[in-house]
Amino acid sequence: MAVIDPRCFLHELFAAAIAAADPRRCLPAFLPEPGPGRNIVVGAGKAAAAMAAAVERHWPAVPEGFVVTRYGYGLSCKHIDVIEAAHPVPDAAGVAAAQRALRLVSGLFTDDLVLALISGGGSALLAAPAPGVALAEKQALTRALLTCGATIHEINTVRKHLSAVKGGRLAAAAQPARVVTLAISDVPGDDPADIASGPTVADATTCADALAVLERYRIDVPAPLRELLAEGITETPKQLAGGEIRVVASARSALEAAAAAARAAGVTPVLLGDAVEGEARAVAEHMATLALTCSARPSVLLSGGETTVTVRGQGRGGRNSEFLLALALALKGAAGIHAIACDTDGIDGTEDNAGAVVTPDTLARAHAAGLDAQAFLADNDAYGFFSALGDLVITGPTRTNVNDFRAIFIQ
């Protein structure tokens, strides 16, 4: 077997995962037959622009409509408008996009087709607050939810019940038209109701569930918002007719592509799961133990999902970078173990990096540079740590999103 360069190998695995989730590659096979009436496209998420471009190239219908994506993630399309808005904290552009989406799908007929292109990030990008909820209130609540350690399911439970478009409300507005949703999943378990907070999917959660999340994480909200939830005024649709959901890409498909690339290089892949959740530091400690006790060499431990970070410090960093910093500390410079962890959308949290890499000499290089790894972790400043070492992974917009990708290579 040829000698493997660990950094190059890990980057190749990440690239294989991204390629498997590229809408240009995975979406065309899932396109429905055009409807006899109007064919409307509406979409939201970090993959929305690439999905729209794939639709225009491969769908025989001439669509009308628009998609909204993150600033910097747009592409030029001929028939489908592509607009941009803020993520992860919504802005006025996201509110305007949600209002436009509701207007676009209103007043349709049974022979019309709504093709919904939904991907991770759509919760923030399609962001019309429910009546009685101000944008500033939703922004403050989003910031609190993103830093308290809540899971994506818990975050979306709250979002749905303070929204005019999430939790199936977009599909409800489109009735009686047929709604086909093509989704790229960024959530553990691939539940369509959680992808972008399920704007076209009936919602099983309740206002009471949303209140329970706020209480669990001790999040303060203005009294009027609490009353909306307590009185069930913003309850979501529990049943929807005439809809179809097709998940076109997920963490599992990305991991399987990375596993195939590993095998081609003569490395044994070990899939730890595509729905890993939990505090990033705790997940790192567990995976460090698995790597240190792994007897198969060479092998690579692959996993996906979405960890969480409870922010207590003042530093910069996303969950993948924090995972890696905690992993480096747990590995203590063990020989022959390298790792990469990145968000497949190219943005780790709110930073400009997708993630970072860890090598056996990470801690030694940090010590030589006067960096206290434990102090950086305590300050939630994994970005600063890996930036100082030159170990950030920066991809720019990938225009897809199947969430976290982790690979631990054991030589």
What is residue 125's predicted lDDT score, i.e. its pLDDT?
Answer: 97
pLDDT digits (tens, 9 = 90+) for 172-181: 999 999 999 9
What would the two tokens of residue 148 be? 């308290």
**Do both 157 and 218 map to the same domain?**
yes
**Do both 97 and 171 map to the same domain?**
yes
Tell whether the model's pLDDT for residue 201 goes beyond 60. Answer: yes
What are the backbone dihedrals phi and psi of residue 137, each rounded to the nearest 5 degrees, phi first?
A: -65, -40
**Segments forming the whole domain that contains residue 58:** 24-249
**Do both 194 and 222 map to the same domain?**
yes
Q: Would 1 be classed as within a structural domain?
A: no
Q: Which residues contact 62 (CB under 8 A, 6 or more apart)?
A: 39, 79
Do the Cβ atoms of 178 and 116 come closer than 8 Å? no
**Do both 84 and 203 map to the same domain?**
yes
**Do both 309 and 207 map to the same domain?**
no
The pTM for the full model equals: 0.93
Task: State percent of the chain over pLDDT 70.
Answer: 100
**Do both 143 and 284 map to the same domain?**
no
Please, is 214 exposed, middle or buried when counting C-beta atoms within 10 Å of its C-beta (0-12, 13-18, 19+)? buried
The helix (run of H) or strand (run of E) holding residue 115 is strand 113-119
What would the two tokens of residue 20 be? 């498997």
Overall number of domains in the chain = 2
pLDDT digits (tens, 9 = 90+) for 32-50: 999 999 999 999 999 999 9
Task: State percent of the chain over pLDDT 90.
Answer: 94
Q: Which residues contact 207 (CB under 8 A, 6 or more apart)?
A: 161, 228, 229, 230, 231, 232, 233, 234, 235
Q: Which runs of consecutive H residues, i.e. helices, occur in 34-180?
A: 48-58, 92-105, 122-125, 135-147, 152-160, 169-174
**Do both 222 and 281 map to the same domain?**
no
Q: Would 276 be classed as within a structural domain?
A: yes
**Do both 200 and 171 map to the same domain?**
yes
Q: Which of 249, 284, 315 is the last residue of a domain?
A: 249
Q: For residue 78, what is the domain's CATH number?
A: 3.40.50.10180
Mean pLDDT across the stretch 54-79? 96
pLDDT digits (tens, 9 = 90+) for 112-170: 999 999 999 999 999 999 998 999 999 999 999 988 989 999 999 999 999 999 999 99
Q: Which of 227, 249, 271 is the last residue of a domain?
A: 249
Q: Which of 188, 216, 249 is the last residue of a domain?
A: 249
Eight-state DSSP code of residue 90: -
What is residue 296's predicted lDDT score, i.e. its pLDDT?
Answer: 86
Q: For residue 11, what is the domain's CATH number?
A: 3.40.1480.10
What is residue 349's predicted lDDT score, i.e. its pLDDT?
Answer: 83
Do the Cβ atoms of 228 and 162 come closer than 8 Å? yes
Mean pLDDT of all residues belonging to the chain: 96
One-letter-per-residue 3-state SS of 255-314: HHHHHHHHHHCCCEEEECCCCEEEEHHHHHHHHHHHHHHCCCCCEEEEEEEEEECECCCC
Q: Would 184 be classed as within a structural domain?
A: yes
Furthest C-alpha separation in the chain: 68
What is residue 227's predicted lDDT score, i.e. its pLDDT?
Answer: 93
Do the Cβ atoms of 403 and 304 come closer than 8 Å? yes
Q: Which runs of consecutive H residues, i.e. helices, occur in 118-250?
A: 122-125, 135-147, 152-160, 169-174, 207-216, 223-230
Q: Would 43 be classed as within a structural domain?
A: yes
Q: Would 180 be classed as within a structural domain?
A: yes
Half-sphere exposure in the Cβ direction for 222 (13 Å, CA) = 14
Going by pLDDT thresholds of 50, 70 and 90, the confidence category of residue 272 is very high
**Do both 280 and 210 map to the same domain?**
no
Do the Cβ atoms of 109 and 37 come closer than 8 Å? yes
Going by pLDDT thresholds of 50, 70 and 90, the confidence category of residue 1 is low
Q: Would 226 be classed as within a structural domain?
A: yes
Q: Which residues contact 134 (CB under 8 A, 6 or more apart)?
A: none
**Do both 356 and 339 map to the same domain?**
yes
Q: Would 50 be classed as within a structural domain?
A: yes
Q: Would 231 be classed as within a structural domain?
A: yes
Please, is 224 exposed, middle or buried when counting C-beta atoms within 10 Å of its C-beta (0-12, 13-18, 19+)? exposed
- Alpha-carbon distances, residue 388 vs 160, 343, 370, 391 (angstroms): 39, 20, 10, 8
Tell whether the model's pLDDT for residue 88 goes beyond 80. Answer: yes
What is residue 35's predicted lDDT score, i.e. its pLDDT?
Answer: 92
What is residue 235's predicted lDDT score, i.e. its pLDDT?
Answer: 97
pLDDT digits (tens, 9 = 90+) for 302-330: 999 999 999 999 989 899 999 999 999 99
**Do both 180 and 243 map to the same domain?**
yes
**Do both 297 and 226 map to the same domain?**
no
How many residues are present in the chain? 411
- Measured at the CA of 152, the angle between CA 148 and CA 23, to 5 degrees, comes to 135
113-119 and 39-44 strand pairing: parallel
Residue 341: how many other CB atoms lie within 10 Å: 33
